[in-house]
Amino acid sequence: MGAISFINEAKAKTAGDAYNYLVEEALYDHGHNPYNGTISTCDIGRCTLSFTKYNEKNRDKAYEHIEKNDWGSKWVADYVDLGKDSKGDRHFLFYGWASC
């Protein structure tokens, strides 16, 4: 059994809603195989960084944070709360190592 890193972004009211949306999307696109290499093979983790306002500068900082932390842990989808955009939508960036 191997692992592959992933990063997925979603807009939602809560991190749980964003995670559920991304898992459903991954299952639809890649099937229910427990080794499909997507976020669907991971449990939701914890927020490791958060911002108040969504913008490209903070998004870049989030990617640096993820790289610094070796793309997270196996089978856990930790996330960065990227903050709210100008329309009031909250963005979340999930990352980790999926089973493949």
Average pLDDT over residues 11-16: 96
Domain residue limits at 56: 3-99
User: How do residues 32-82 score in pLDDT, each as one tens digit?
Assistant: 989 999 999 999 999 999 999 999 999 999 999 999 999 999 999 999 999
pLDDT at 93: 98
Rounded CA-CA distance 100/82 in Å is 28
Q: For the whole model, what pTM was predicted?
A: 0.93
pLDDT the model gives residue 76: 97
The whole-number average pLDDT for the span 78-100 is 96
Give the separation between CA 98 and CA 6, rounded to whole angstroms.
Answer: 7
Q: Quick one: CA torsion of 33, 34, 37, 41, rounded to 10 degrees?
A: 130
Number of domains in the chain: 1
Q: Please tell me the predicted confidence (pLDDT) of residue 1.
A: 67
Q: Could you give the CA distance from residue 34 to residue 31 in angstroms, rounded to a whole number? A: 9
